[in-house]
């Protein structure tokens, strides 16, 4: 009975924390995005060399896109002749540096771990975007066009008053929460069950920081397990509480967020097989490198 009560308390507390956090962060980012048009993003990304990659990664970090919106934006950049490397840095960082992921990590595992996660993912997205361009992978894109009147939507957004933008941002954050609430609850429920019923020594034996193979295995396992970040993070945090190395948990999150099966399927529609394989390899290396660095530092 005590275990059940502890499990339910964990479920309620984490759910409340994540819901408040989700609405707050999403509303703030949505408000910011009403002031950043796609044309502005294209101009910013046109910097030469590593500057373009750095800006691409930064833009990916402040745009909480899911794969269904990241991919069309990526296509729009490529069609507008934005440098390939900068576009790849944006594509890599967008799912990994989603503000929801960073915010959740800050609340659940602390600002030090969240900061380290951000720095690692940011540096690696800049580096790998630069490498993909310099190694000639730009030739493996398909000729795809984005449908929809983007400029018209941007003009409408510019005409909104400040109170209207705030209202729309809050409404959008609420609607976004409604669309992912089930996934969030599933993740918290699984995490609460792990917290309450999975023996510590079992997790420690399989995925403790002493197991050198735990990090790469976690990066691969994260792919089929991943539904959304709101689901994956509560599960990963619960496993950390049971003895999983924090680096292993980070590899699980990065592997799932960056190589989610739905996103890979969408990428196959705009990139040739060699480029899709290269992106998968890049995300896997990002997960493994980040995981080992986390285990060493923390």
When mean pLDDT is compared across 84-93, 167-176, 233-242, 259-268, the lowest value belongs to 259-268
Both structure tokens of 135: 């190694």
| Whether pLDDT at 158 is above 70 | no
- Residue 296 · residue 127 · CB < 8 Å: no
Number of domains in the chain: 1
What percent of the chain shows pLDDT beyond 90?
Answer: 18
The answer to whether 18 and 188 have CB atoms below 8 angstroms apart is yes
pLDDT in tens, 112-136: 989 999 999 999 999 999 999 999 9
Q: Mean pLDDT throughout 178-200?
A: 73
Asked whether the CA dihedral 139, 59, 123, 104 is positive or negative, the reply is negative
Report d(CA 61, CA 58) in Å as an integer. Answer: 5
Rounded Cα gap, residues 213 and 38, in angstroms: 42
Given pLDDT bands bounded at 50, 70 and 90, which one contains residue 147?
very low
Task: Residue 192: count other Cβ atoms within 10 Å of its Cβ.
Answer: 23
Q: How far apart are CA 82 and CA 79, in angstroms?
A: 8
Lowest mean pLDDT segment, chosen from 14-18, 49-53, 77-81, 155-159: 155-159
Burial of 145 (C-beta count, 10 Å sphere; 0-12/13-18/19+): exposed
Chain centroid to CA 76: 20
- 141 bridge partner residues: 271
DSSP-derived letter for residue 185 is H
pLDDT at 229 over 70: no
Classify 6 as helix, strand or coil. Answer: helix
Mean pLDDT of 129-147: 82
Overall residue count recorded for the chain in this entry: 298
Domain that holds residue 215: 2-297
* Contact by Cβ (8 Å): 92, 279: yes
Arithmetic mean of pLDDT over the chain: 78
Predicted TM-score (pTM) of the model is 0.72
Classify each residue of 53-68 as buried b or exposed e, where b means 16 or more C-beta atoms within 10 Å of its C-beta: bbbbbbbbbbbbbbbe
Tokens 């609850």 belong to which residue?
A: 185
Q: Is the pLDDT of residue 280 over 50?
A: yes
Beta bridge partners of 271: 141
User: Is 50 exceeded by the pLDDT of residue 151?
Assistant: no
- Tell whether the model's pLDDT for residue 103 goes beyond 90: no
Buried b (16+ CB within 10 A) or exposed e, 33-46: bbeebbeebbebbb
């Amino acid at each position: 009975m005590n275990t059940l009560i502890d499990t339910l308390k964990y479920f309620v507390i984490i759910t409340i924390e994540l819901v408040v956090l989700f609405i707050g962060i999403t509303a703030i980012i949505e408000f910011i995005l009403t002031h950043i048009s796609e044309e502005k993003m294209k101009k910013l990304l046109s910097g030469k060399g590593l500057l373009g990659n750095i800006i691409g990664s930064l833009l990916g970090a402040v745009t909480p896109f899911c794969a269904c919106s990241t991919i069309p934006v990526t296509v729009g950049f490529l069609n507008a002749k934005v440098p390939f490397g900068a576009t790849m840095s944006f594509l890599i960082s967008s799912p990994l540096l989603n503000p929801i992921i960073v915010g959740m990590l800050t609340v659940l595992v602390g600002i030090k771990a969240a900061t380290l996660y951000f720095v690692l993912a940011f540096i690696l997205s800049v580096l790998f975007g630069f490498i993909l361009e310099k190694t000639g992978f730009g030739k493996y894109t398909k000729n795809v066009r984005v449908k929809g009147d983007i400029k018209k939507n941007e003009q409408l957004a510019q005409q909104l008053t400040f109170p209207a933008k705030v209202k729309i941002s809050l409404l959008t954050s609420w609607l976004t929460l409604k669309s992912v609430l089930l996934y969030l609850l599933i993740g918290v429920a699984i995490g609460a069950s792990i917290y309450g019923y999975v023996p510590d020594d079992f997790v420690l034996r399989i995925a403790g920081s002493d197991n050198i193979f735990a990090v790469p295995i976690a990066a691969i396992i994260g792919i089929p397990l991943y539904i959304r970040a709101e689901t994956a993070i509560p599960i990963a945090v619960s496993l950390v509480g049971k003895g999983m190395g924090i680096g292993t948990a980070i590899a699980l999150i990065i592997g799932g967020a960056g190589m989610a099966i739905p996103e890979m399927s969408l990428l196959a529609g705009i990139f040739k097989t060699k480029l899709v394989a290269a992106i998968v390899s890049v995300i896997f290396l990002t997960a493994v490198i980040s995981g080992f660095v986390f285990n060493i530092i923390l």
